[in-house]
Structure 1
Amino acid sequence: MGTYFKKNGSVATANVGDTLTYVVSSVIPTTTGQTDPTFTFKDTASKGLTVDASSIKVFYDADDDDKYNYFDATGDTLLAKDTDYTVTGPTASDSGTVTQVDVKNVGGKDGQKLTLLYKASTTKDAVDNQVTNAATASYDGGAESAPASVTVKFGMFTLKKIDKNHNGIAGAQFSVTGSDGNAIIFEKTDVNGEWVRAADQSVKVDNVTYFKNVPTSQGGALYFWGLAEGGYSVYEQKVAEGYAQQYRAGFSVSIDKNGQRTYNYDKAKDQYKLVTFRDADGAEVTPSNSTKVVGGTAQVLNIKNISELPLTGGAGLTMFVTAAIVFSGVGVTLLVKSGTRRARRVMRA
């Protein structure tokens, strides 16, 4: 027996709010000598996974492709609910929900592949940034098979808004943009500084529960989760009160198929060198153009005036150098003109 899920092919991560398709299958054993034998699938979905009972399909998969091909000449046979099988649940349990499908009279179907297909949506009730689905099979009231299970993970990342002394700052606002260029809507959780991707991305942004520009909490930390594999851009949309509004920064973060995060330094998003990282061990990393940090967190500096800008190369230093050149050039030009005019006045005198 095998159980797995598909969503445009096999994936290992998902967004909160995604709909996943699960496929559970098993081969009917020898039924000789049995009278109206039954076959049972028992599916246990963890918290954060809502099974749609109306989506359940049960069929004999003649071409072994895990799909019910109703136009296919191979002859997949769709079974009728209540007539050919019954569904019990989803029933709440301590760990999530249990759904049981009892297929009637599988006699004479020896060796045929029986498949259960259904959909489930992911929710913010997931525990430890993941959902797990497990299924067993049993024949005619016998012992259940060992469970086959699959875990789907949600990506996450963190950032901290800091001042020049590395103290956390509340009140700065950040947006997170996906690869489609759209800012993601996040829902505020009960945990200070924690934000989960809103399951419904069309929900109204009220800046009470749902936000696009997410404010840093007391302590300056933000924790974003509920994200699928992909690349994300983080932008500072508003600097905290009392700090220079013109000095903002951003960075990129990617989430891989296992839900692991990697921070990517992006010079174009950080012209003032305000972004640093801490690695998974907590060591501070001053980024260069090619810096990638696996795990850990990002730090974004707010400053009150130009004197607090980092002076370690890059755009901050370039700005000072450029300013010095401009001011020197202006000074030289004025001096030359002044000297010329003075010389002319002297000559006229």
Structure 2
Amino acid sequence: MSATAFLVDADVDAQLALWLRDLGAVRRLAPRTLEAYRRDLGQFLAFLAPHTGGPVSLATLAGLRGADLRAYMAARRAGNLGSRSLARALAAIRSFFRFLEREGVLASEALNVVRPPRQPRPLPKALTVLEAKAAVAAAGAMDERPWVAARDVAVLTLCYGAGLRISEALALTRADLEGDSLRVTGKGGKTRMVPLIAPVRAAVADYLGLCPFAPARDQPLFRGVRGGVLSPRLIQLRLAQLRSALGLPASATPHALRHSFATHLLGRGGDLRAIQELLGHASLSTTQLYTAVDSERLLASYRAAHPRSRG
């Protein structure tokens, strides 16, 4: 008998055992994931038994309605279960019901009318000003070949100094650099103009002056050591080396430099809509996430420095 046997009848208990065996032996879920699924489904059955007035049977499961699932979700939320954990619990329930349907035991439409809880959007992880500057500067000492070192500095400078995605930086051509602004092709093929500030222009110029290859005006600027178009993976690996060398957080990635660009602009009084345009965000709500990052940093500084912050 399983740990949930007293909540269910013999038929459901047998199907639970078969489902768990399928997850472990056939689908090869990790032991911790398997235990989490077991626990989540057990909590669902623990709610369902008193909710339906007795041990859960296959007929009980077949007769479930969307209202029963919503009552379960409300009960778990009342117990302070977060959205992420509740979504995982629903995934376990869906997995069990899909197994029952696949095996021809029963079918239920209840889960099709219940939406999983909306997940909170994670805040962008920006570096501090000192960390971002150190990462860009140190990239110039990570390779003995001067042109490769200058290339990596230029790419990272574009991420931090112009707010480019790594894919956008590596797609730049000579034609995109003409004039005082940078023409950037972003997601969905949309083009935006980003001011080309002096440090960014200088970093790119240093690279072009040293690069042994001469791509055509309409070809990507940044090249690998054999002359092919530079892979973003190489820049990601360079950041990994910099994380180790400088003791940077695990969140220090090329995209974190883009986040840092926006966060530092906002912290210096930058206009939110202007930052939206610079980043190429389709929606202002995406850019507004950076206001939460800035507020969080302000609170952290206050708690660390204010003499009354500790009571």
TM over 0.5: no
More strand by percentage: 1
Structure number with larger C-alpha Rg: 1
TM tier relative to shorter chain = under 0.3
TM-score (norm 2): 0.24
In the superposition, the TM-score normalised over structure 1's length comes to 0.23
